[in-house]
Amino acid sequence: MTTKKHLLVVDDDINIVASLQFILADEGFEVTSVTTPEAALAKIGNTNFDCVLMDMNFQQDTTSGAEGIKLVEHIKHLEEQLPIIVMTGWATIDIAVEAMQAGAKDFIQKPWSNERLIAAVNTQLALSYSNKQVGRLSQQNKLLVAAEHPASRQGIIAKSAKMLELLATLEQLAKSDMSILLTGDNGTGKSMLAAYVHQVSARAKHSFVPVNMGAVPESLFESEMFGHVKGAFTDAKDTRIGRFEMAENGTLFLDELANIPLAQQAKLLRVLEEKRYEAVGSSKPKTANVRIISATNSNLLTDIEENRFRQDLYYRLNTVELRVPSLSERVEDIPLLAQHFLEKFSQKYHRPAPQLANDAIEQLCCYGWPGNIRELSHMMERLMFTCKDGKISAATLSLQPSNEIVNFIDDPSLTMEEVEQLVMVNRLKHFSGNASETAKSLGLSRSGYYRRLTKYGMET
């Protein structure tokens, strides 16, 4: 359902008001009328209009157009982007030029032709819509320069059962509008997955807007999130749209969620509850139709206990809470990811991708990856330049195996089957994928070995 465009008619002649109201309502517009400049400014101050149609002369002075020019200037000051069409029975080219210089977008002479009037209104509405789109896209582009988002699932490398299950769950959730909270260590792919949920959701044709909550200064929080109007504070030289407006009908991604200061958490909660907000310096409510995905590497339950995070906000954001596993918990993904990054950087730097030797792959799989996928990506990028003869060997890497992996057998959180699976994975790595040597070293018959491969989804 499309909402009706809302027009404001300003004219002191009630016959003209009635006639305009009739014609415009007949065209499907919602029309509000006022008869004085003061009433027009008051209405614009508390209502969202899409276009203003106004007379240039009011009671005090009926011919010069001075009152109309003043009104155009005031409206521009209040609402820079609102298109204004001026009308006057005393049309002179001078008044038209002056009105346009003051910020009016078009000029109509009374008595008007209905066709010309409707065409002028529709043109202004279309122009204003595309200006807003351009503003939204350019702000968004700035944000995207720094962020990297996958074009499809092809950009997400995952083979491990844990990640495949997580992706399948996210694809299901993407169909709903539920708030999703992604937890997990730094560099595990939370941002990438949030962007992916947006891409496979019904909101995909609208914007995905990430905000790093750790990077927003407390004093600028409201302006950043909700926007501000020109003159709202000393540095507000222009009207600026906030992240909520950029994400309207799309997805707002609140990254580093735990870093929102307490006072700002209350403001965010209010908007999420009421689905409305006001730009700084404006009293006009705007709707917030956004899907929220948030991410944190912090333990929010501890943050709540220690009064650093509001429990009510937590419950608002975690309709579904999913943990993205650390890289050391999905060893099967490591060789694929390493290869993926080598190819990616080979394209970026126009250099051939180095070959990963088997002993290097084994070492990558036994390393603990405290920085997760980001660390792996950086390591592969460095190796593009530091490896010798186009080969990466264990000696080139010289990584210390993580105690975690060496000691996984003692991990009390793992079940017998999980331990068995990890042993299989590591032993296969050790024998560079050689099935008979792996089976022999584990004391398994070939059929016992293949049965387990099938059981753990490791056939390929």
Ligand X SMILES: Nc1ncnc2c1ncn2[C@@H]1O[C@H](COP(=O)(O)OP(=O)(O)OP(=O)(O)O)[C@@H](O)[C@H]1O
The footprint of ligand X on residues 251-270 (CB under 6 A) is: 255
> Residue 110 or 159: which CB sits closer to ligand X?
159
Taking the C-alpha atoms of residue 277 and residue 270, their distance in angstroms, rounded to an integer, is: 8
Neighbours of 206 (CB within 10 A): 19
Minimum gap (Å) between residue 296 Cβ and ligand X:
8
Taking CB atoms, the residue at the shortest distance from ligand X is 189
Minimum gap (Å) between residue 25 Cβ and ligand X:
50
CB 354 within 8 A of CB 397: no
Any contact of residue 156 with ligand X (CB under 6 A)?
Answer: yes
Taking the C-alpha atoms of residue 79 and residue 439, their distance in angstroms, rounded to an integer, is: 74
Minimum gap (Å) between residue 295 Cβ and ligand X:
6
Minimum gap (Å) between residue 339 Cβ and ligand X:
11
Number of residues that bind ligand X (CB under 6 A): 20
Out of 88, 294, 377, 438, the residue judged to bind ligand X by CB under 6 A: 377
Taking the C-alpha atoms of residue 238 and residue 116, their distance in angstroms, rounded to an integer, is: 33
Tokens of 339: 């290869």
Produce one character per residue of 76-95: b if its CB has 16 or more CB atoms within 10 Å, e if not: bebbeebbbbbbbeebeeeb
Minimum gap (Å) between residue 150 Cβ and ligand X:
7
- Residue that has been written with the tokens 């014609």 in this structure: 23
Residues in contact with ligand X, shown as a per-residue x/- string from 167 to 186 under the rule CB under 6 A: -----------------x-x
Any contact of residue 373 with ligand X (CB under 6 A)?
Answer: yes
The footprint of ligand X on residues 332-371 (CB under 6 A) is: 337, 340
Taking the C-alpha atoms of residue 292 and residue 289, their distance in angstroms, rounded to an integer, is: 10
Minimum gap (Å) between residue 156 Cβ and ligand X:
4
The footprint of ligand X on residues 289-308 (CB under 6 A) is: 295, 297
Out of 105, 190, 206, 452, the residue judged to bind ligand X by CB under 6 A: 190
Minimum gap (Å) between residue 226 Cβ and ligand X:
23
Taking the C-alpha atoms of residue 136 and residue 247, their distance in angstroms, rounded to an integer, is: 9
Out of 33, 57, 88, 191, the residue judged to bind ligand X by CB under 6 A: 191
Out of 267, 374, 427, 430, the residue judged to bind ligand X by CB under 6 A: 374
Minimum gap (Å) between residue 333 Cβ and ligand X:
7
Taking the C-alpha atoms of residue 314 and residue 56, their distance in angstroms, rounded to an integer, is: 53
CB 295 within 8 A of CB 257: yes
DSSP states along 260-320: S-HHHHHHHHHHHHHSEEE-BT---EEE---EEEEEESS-HHHHHHTTSS-HHHHHHH-SE
Minimum gap (Å) between residue 368 Cβ and ligand X:
17
CA quadruple 127, 128, 133, 137: dihedral sign: positive
- Piece in contact with ligand X (CB under 6 A), picked from 150-158, 236-244, 278-286, 379-387: 150-158
> Residue 33 or 326: which CB sits closer to ligand X?
326
Out of 189, 210, 242, 335, the residue judged to bind ligand X by CB under 6 A: 189
Taking the C-alpha atoms of residue 182 and residue 293, their distance in angstroms, rounded to an integer, is: 8
Out of 158, 229, 360, 384, the residue judged to bind ligand X by CB under 6 A: 158
> Residue 153 or 446: which CB sits closer to ligand X?
153
Minimum gap (Å) between residue 365 Cβ and ligand X:
16
Any contact of residue 328 with ligand X (CB under 6 A)?
Answer: no
Closest CA to 233 of 225, 241, 223, 224: 223
> Residue 126 or 336: which CB sits closer to ligand X?
336
The partner residues of 193 in beta bridges, in order of sequence, read: none
Out of 157, 174, 213, 334, the residue judged to bind ligand X by CB under 6 A: 157
Minimum gap (Å) between residue 395 Cβ and ligand X:
26
Coil vs helix vs strand at 321: strand
> Residue 148 or 411: which CB sits closer to ligand X?
148
Out of 38, 148, 274, 305, the residue judged to bind ligand X by CB under 6 A: 148
H and E: helices and strands count for the chain = 20, 14
- Piece in contact with ligand X (CB under 6 A), picked from 124-132, 281-289, 372-380, 391-399: 372-380
Any contact of residue 143 with ligand X (CB under 6 A)?
Answer: no
At residue 443's C-alpha, the angle toward residues 439 and 445, to 5°, is: 60
Minimum gap (Å) between residue 434 Cβ and ligand X:
27
Taking the C-alpha atoms of residue 377 and residue 99, their distance in angstroms, rounded to an integer, is: 58
CA quadruple 38, 44, 45, 46: dihedral sign: positive
Any contact of residue 165 with ligand X (CB under 6 A)?
Answer: no
Coil vs helix vs strand at 110: coil
DSSP at 206: S
- Residues found near ligand X in the complex (CB under 6 A): 148, 156-158, 184, 186-192, 255, 295, 297, 337, 340, 373-374, 377
